[in-house]
Structures are given as structure tokens and as C-alpha cells.
């Protein structure tokens, strides 16, 4: 079976963007591939502000988020990045093959420096983020990486590292992993920001209550040019309609299309459309909320313990294969 590696940084709970960007593909492919899901708790340190307690708490939450969308812990290997020492050794070797300029040229790194307002206050580890990620992916020799659009640039760096290493060592030790971008590559935030992101405070979480969803949707950014309900509005690029398209099922399609036409003619108010979106999102989230309750804390610990044991063996094999080239 070919392998998948994907995962999340435990800097917050998972949200609707994660669902359409990557979780949905994880669920779809869990029987066709051997799937590894990393909780990238070392990557989480690059925010420079996350406390160990918070990272621990979010690691559990993110694992629960993954399980709540229907990922089967019997099929999937979940592990914490910090449990696999081989990853750091591999990342350190990989960093020798990446030029300083190349690391700074990564478009997602540049984007995040500006969208997160980091200025020049980012760590060396932040620039090294994609290199550590290459080690996550290549330590299990994954061939497919289901991710959101913002991760495409990082994947490109993983592929460059794998190719460079293979070429220099005249070996075929690493695969050439492909990114699999989700149905919606980048879901916008509730504030109209092009990306919903857990560090951007513009999220609807998979674990939000019905009331929280309602409040967030009612406060959502729509068309800023529209003042009155009878002003013609813009559907394209409007996050309310993007969410309706992304989370409405076939049975909602007719009503969604009707709202779109009415909105463009100024025949329906934002409140009515938002109420419909609230209903759709709460219907979508209900089974996810229920499944979340199925897992006990002790089960989560066991899933991570067994996952680390399995991953450690594979990562050690990869590393000793690499080292044998030098001995
Ligand atoms: P942060 O703001 O801390 O970077 P994040 O919301 O981007 O958090 P990550 O843990 O970095 O979350 O990303 C996990 C996965 O979810 C990645 O594959 C990423 O591409 C995807 N993803 C994150 N946000 C979105 C989004 N808004 N739309 C689609 N995919 C997303
Ligand atoms: Mg991110």
C-alpha cells in the first residue's frame, strides 16, 4: 500500500477550512492508502508564543477533531512529531541541502510573515518550517500529501529536497511526493480574509456549538457595498455564498441558486441568507459533534502511543538507509 502523510499544527482547534482543504480527502483515502497523520507539535513552537500547556491541550483537541470527522484510528497511524527523534536528525541533514535564499523565497513563508504581521520577528525555525515538514513527510516515504492550497509551496520544497538528495547520493531513497489539494483549496475566513486560519481569529470550528455557529454566521462579512436589503449584491467572492456552495448538500442546491439570483437583484436580505447558512452548517456539524463524544481521554493517549511506536520503527529504517550511503 502506498503511504499518505498529512497533519496539522496544534496551535488551535480545527475549522471548516481544514475540512474542505484536507480532512475530507483523508476520510476518502483512508482505506486505499496507509495513512499517517502527524500532530506537528514542534512546528507549533514557531508562533513563539505557544506555551507547552496550550500545545498539549490543542494536540488532544486536534486529534479529536480528526477522529470526529470519521477517521478510523484502527486504520490510521496518528503520532506526535516530538515523539520521533529521527525527524529532527533528518531535518538537520536536509537543511544542509537548502540554500538560505531558497528558504526565504518560499511564497507561503512570505505570505504568512505578512498575514500574521510577523515583521522581522520570526524565528529561524519559522524559515525552516518547510524543511522540518520535508522530514515529516519523507521519514515515512509518503507519496501523497492531502493539504490545502497554502501548503503547495511547502510541498514543492519537499520535492526539491527529495530530488536533490537522490541525485547527489545517486540513490532512489526518497519518493517524489505529490500534493493533493482539497475540493476548496483555500476557504475564506468569516471576516472576508482569503484564508480561514486558526491564528487569524476568523474561524468556525468543527467543535463549535449551534449557538456559536449562529453568532459567527450572523456577524459574517458579506458584500460591503450593500447597505440595504434591496441593494443589488455580489455573490462571487462573498464568503456566505462560498460556504453555502461548500457545505450545502444536493437537497439545498435549488434554494441556494434561488438565493443567489435574488441577492444579485436585491430581492433578499443578508439576514435571511445567513439564517439558511446557519441551518446548513449546523446540520453538517451535528454528526461531527456527536462522534466527538465517542472518544475517551485514555483512548487518545493510547492512539498516540501506538502511533509513535509504529512511526519510530519506519523513520529509523529510513534514517539508517540514508546513513548507510555515507558509511
Ligand atoms: P495556522 O494559521 O496556525 O497556520 P491553519 O489554520 O493554517 O493554522 P494548519 O495546521 O497550518 O492550520 O493547516 C493544516 C491543514 O489545513 C493544511 O493542509 C492546510 O493547508 C489546511 N488548511 C488550513 N486552513 C485552510 C483553509 N482556510 N482552507 C483550506 N485548507 C486549509
Ligand atoms: Mg497553516
Measured by CA distance, the residue closest to atom 25 of ligand 1 is: 17
pLDDT, tens only, 127-163: 999 999 999 999 999 999 999 999 999 999 999 999 9
CATH 3.40.50.620 domain residues, the chain: 3-188+296-326
| Contact in structure between 195 and 160 (CB atoms under 8 Å) | no
Q: Chain-centre distance of CA 90, in angstroms?
A: 23
CATH 1.10.240.10 domain residues, the chain: 208-290
* Mean pLDDT (the chain, rounded): 96
Using most ligand atoms within 8 A of CB, pick from 4, 7, 9, 39 the residue to mutate for ligand 1. Answer: 9
Other CB atoms within a 10 A radius of the CB of residue 301 amount to: 12
pLDDT, tens only, 57-79: 999 999 999 999 999 999 999 99
CA of 258 to the centre of ligand 1 (A): 31
Is the CB of residue 150 below 6 angstroms from any atom belonging to ligand 1? yes
Is the CB of residue 147 below 6 angstroms from any atom belonging to ligand 1? yes
Q: Which ligand is nearest to the CA of 151?
A: 1
Q: Which ligand is nearest to the CA of 59?
A: 1
| Contact in structure between 12 and 58 (CB atoms under 8 Å) | yes
* Spatial distance between the Cα atoms of 212 and 124, rounded to a whole number of angstroms: 37
Show pLDDT as tens, one digit a residue, over the chain (327 residues).
999 999 999 999 999 999 999 999 999 999 999 999 999 999 999 988 889 999 999 999 999 999 999 999 999 999 999 999 999 999 999 999 999 999 999 999 998 888 888 888 899 999 999 999 999 999 999 999 999 999 999 999 999 999 999 999 999 999 999 999 999 999 999 999 999 998 788 999 999 999 999 999 999 999 999 999 899 999 999 999 999 999 999 999 999 999 999 999 999 999 999 999 999 999 999 999 999 999 999 999 999 999 999 999 999 999 999 999 998
CA of 162 to the centre of ligand 1 (A): 23
Of ligand 1's listed atoms, the one at least distance from the Cα of 198 is 6
CA of 319 to the centre of ligand 2 (A): 27
Pick the CATH number of 3-188+296-326 from 3.40.50.620, 3.90.190.20, 3.90.1150.10, 3.60.10.10: 3.40.50.620
CATH class of 208-290: mainly alpha
pLDDT of residue 73: 97
Nearest CA to 135 out of 325, 323, 319, 320 is that of 319
Amino acid at each position: 500500500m502506498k503511504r499518505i502523510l498529512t497533519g496539522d499544527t496544534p496551535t488551535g482547534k480545527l475549522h471548516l477550512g481544514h475540512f474542505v482543504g484536507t480532512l475530507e480527502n483523508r476520510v476518502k483515502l483512508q482505506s486505499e492508502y496507509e495513512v499517517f497523520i502527524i500532530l506537528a507539535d514542534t512546528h507549533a513552537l514557531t508562533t513563539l508564543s505557544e506555551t507547552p500547556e496550550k500545545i498539549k491541550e490543542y494536540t488532544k483537541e486536534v486529534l479529536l477533531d480528526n477522529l470526529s470527522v470519521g477517521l478510523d484510528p484502527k486504520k490510521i497511524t496518528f503520532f506526535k512529531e516530538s515523539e520521533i527523534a529521527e525527524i529532527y536528525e533528518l531535518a538537520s541533514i536536509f537543511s544542509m541541502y537548502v540554500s538560505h535564499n531558497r528558504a526565504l523565497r518560499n511564497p507561503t513563508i512570505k505570505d504568512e510573515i505578512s498575514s500574521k504581521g510577523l515583521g522581522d520577528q520570526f524565528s529561524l525555525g519559522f524559515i525552516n518550517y518547510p524543511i522540518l515538514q520535508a522530514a515529516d513527510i519523507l521519514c515515512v516515504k509518503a507519496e501523497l500529501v492531502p493539504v490545502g492550497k497554502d501548503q503547495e509551496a511547502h510541498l514543492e520544497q519537499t520535492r526539491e529536497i527529495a530530488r536533490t538528495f537522490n541525485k547527489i547520493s545517486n540513490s532512489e531513497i526518497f519518493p517524489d511526493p505529490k500534493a493533493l489539494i482539497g475540493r476548496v483549496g483555500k476557504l475564506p475566513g468569516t471576516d472576508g480574509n482569503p484564508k480561514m486560519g486558526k491564528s487569524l481569529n476568523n474561524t468556525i470550528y468543527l467543535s463549535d456549538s449551534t449557538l456559536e455557529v449562529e453568532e459567527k454566521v450572523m456577524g459574517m462579512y458579506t458584500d460591503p457595498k450593500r447597505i440595504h436589503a434591496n441593494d443589488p449584491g455580489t455573490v462571487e467572492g462573498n464568503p456566505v455564498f462560498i460556504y453555502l456552495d461548500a457545505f450545502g448538500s444536493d437537497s439545498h442546491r435549488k434554494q441556494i441558486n434561488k438565493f443567489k439570483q435574488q441577492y444579485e437583484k436585491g430581492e433578499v436580505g443578508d439576514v435571511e441568507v445567513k439564517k439558511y447558512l446557519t441551518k446548513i452548517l449546523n446540520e453538517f456539524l451535528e454528526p461531527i459533534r456527536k462522534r466527538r463524544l465517542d472518544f475517551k481521554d485514555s483512548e487518545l493517549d493510547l492512539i498516540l502511543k501506538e502511533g509513535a511506536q509504529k512511526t519510530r520503527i519506519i523513520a529509523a529504517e529510513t534514517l539508517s538507509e540514508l546513513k548507510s550511503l555515507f558509511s
